[in-house]
Amino acid sequence: MSIRGFFKNIVYRVNVAVALLLLLTYSAPYINPQFFWLPALSGLTYNFLLLVNVGFVAFWLYRRSWYILLSLGVIVLGAPLLQNTFAFRLNSWGNKNAQTADSLRTKIMSYNVNNFDLYNWNKNEESRNKMLELIRGENPDIICFQDFYTQDDSVFNNISELQNKLNYPYFHLEKTLTLREKDHWGLAVFSRYPLYNAHKIKFNNSKYNGAFQVDVSVHERPMRLFNVHLQSTHLAPDDLKYVKKIGENIEQKETSEHWRSISSIVEKLRTAYEKRSEQAQIIADSIAHSPYSVVVCGDFNDTPVSYSYRKISHPLQDGFLSDGIGFGGTYSIGPLPPFRIDYVLVDTSFVVYNFDIIASNKNRSDHSPVVCEIGWKD
């Protein structure tokens, strides 16, 4: 065998392996992690494997080889999943046939504020102020917060800050933790429209994650708003340190530590996937029983290639897919590409306008807020 033939054979074998791995990711949205969790883990690699397979298509096209059909066929087979992951703004044009007057549109933001950098992870005392300035600049009508924190009777009273300085007269705070009777953590919604019938959605398998639903009177029409924070992975500082070192050379003496870190991360991911699948079913059931049009905001801690996303998003429309573009990352860690785990999902009775993911930076939260305008079709 010639060197060229040997090289072609090696590339083909790698192509087969990568194509099979991409096929595995296609099962992630359909297999409950409580029964089998490995497909859920593979879903994290979907974007990377998709791009690698696109690279193989380009390579075999350049070589004018029939091997192009391998990756091309797998990509085509996964077209439905690609449509749930990659947004083409062109897809949104058809939705604009039912225009809503600007004055009747409602601007909604979903924002995991990471406790307003309470613990100074960003090493910047201005982090909280920058988040509040961002909110003031975007000026949404309704804001859903995850990882919300407030302290009574102090400069860190974020309820007072949002109500009085940013003009949000209506709010609901669903507490997941209270310490010293004055420090409160949880989920919150702030609104310029009346809120009523707030109801906690309890996750029996989680202490600090949760959800709630609340009805909102928007232009004298009711809608039901869900604010959701699905199970966090709870990576420890050592885990995060390891992830941030991905790609670096690992010395021999670090090998055992390396495998311990991998084992710890995988176990935490498995546990979180299993809990989120149960939580997603609870949210899906609550959505199904809503008498009103539904809007779901939240940090799902899961990508669109996941069981929990499919459970909650069906039969809603994903605001990003309706009016966004690209892969739309909202959270990144270390050298890894950003993942889209923060969402605004809306009822099909709404039209989505001006969806945006506001790029985060080190002086704000570790999540990028997502914002869009919605209006009823009729």
User: Can you tell me the distance from the alpha carbon of 304 to that of 296, in angstroms, rounded to the nearest whole number?
Assistant: 15
**The model's pTM:** 0.91
Give yes or no: residues 30 and 93 share one domain. no
Give yes or no: residues 10 and 29 share one domain. yes
Supply the range of the domain harboring residue 41: 3-82
Q: Sign (positive/negative) of CA torsion 255, 258, 260, 263?
A: negative
Cβ-proximal residues to 172 (8 Å cutoff; 6+ apart), any chain:
188, 189, 195, 198, 212, 214
Structural domain ending residue among the three candidates 82, 113, 129: 82
* Phi, psi values for residue 37, rounded to 5°: -95, -15
Give yes or no: residues 135 and 77 share one domain. no
CATH number of the domain that residue 270 is part of:
3.60.10.10
Q: What is the mean pLDDT of residues 327-346?
A: 88
Confidence check: pLDDT of 253 > 50: no
User: Can you tell me the distance from the alpha carbon of 110 to that of 315, in angstroms, rounded to the nearest whole number?
Assistant: 20
Give yes or no: residues 141 and 24 share one domain. no
Within 10 angstroms of residue 86's Cβ, the number of other Cβ atoms is 16
Give me the pLDDT at residue 27, please: 97
Give yes or no: residues 123 and 233 share one domain. yes
Q: What is the mean pLDDT of residues 136-141?
A: 96
Cβ-proximal residues to 337 (8 Å cutoff; 6+ apart), any chain:
47, 48, 327, 329
Give me the pLDDT at residue 88, please: 78
Give yes or no: residues 107 and 181 share one domain. yes
Structural domain ending residue among the three candidates 64, 82, 100: 82
Give me the pLDDT at residue 252, please: 46
Give yes or no: residues 368 and 267 share one domain. yes
Q: What is the four-CA torsion angle of 197, 203, 207, 209, rounded to 10 degrees?
A: -70
The mean pLDDT of the chain is 89
Give yes or no: residues 157 and 227 share one domain. yes
User: Can you tell me the distance from the alpha carbon of 292 to that of 215, in angstroms, rounded to the nearest whole number?
Assistant: 9
Give yes or no: residues 162 and 240 share one domain. yes
Give me the pLDDT at residue 349, please: 95
User: Can you tell me the distance from the alpha carbon of 232 to that of 264, in angstroms, rounded to the nearest whole number?
Assistant: 15
Q: What is the mean pLDDT of residues 356-375?
A: 87
Are 319 and 339 within 8 A, CB to CB? no
Structural domain ending residue among the three candidates 60, 82, 104: 82
Q: At 124, is the pLDDT very low, low, confident or very high (cuts 50, 70, 90)?
A: low
Total of domains in the chain: 2
Give yes or no: residues 70 and 109 share one domain. no
* Phi, psi values for residue 347, rounded to 5°: -60, 150
Confidence check: pLDDT of 260 > 80: no
Q: What is the mean pLDDT of residues 255-273?
A: 82
Per-residue pLDDT reduced to its tens digit, 59-108 = 999 999 999 999 999 999 999 999 889 987 654 544 555 567 677 899 99
71: nearest Cα among 84, 83, 61:
61
Give me the pLDDT at residue 104, please: 85
Give yes or no: residues 11 and 109 share one domain. no
Confidence check: pLDDT of 26 > 90: yes
359 or 134: which carries more pLDDT confidence? 134
Q: What is the mean pLDDT of residues 314-332?
A: 92
Q: At 338, is the pLDDT very low, low, confident or very high (cuts 50, 70, 90)?
A: confident
Give yes or no: residues 133 and 10 share one domain. no
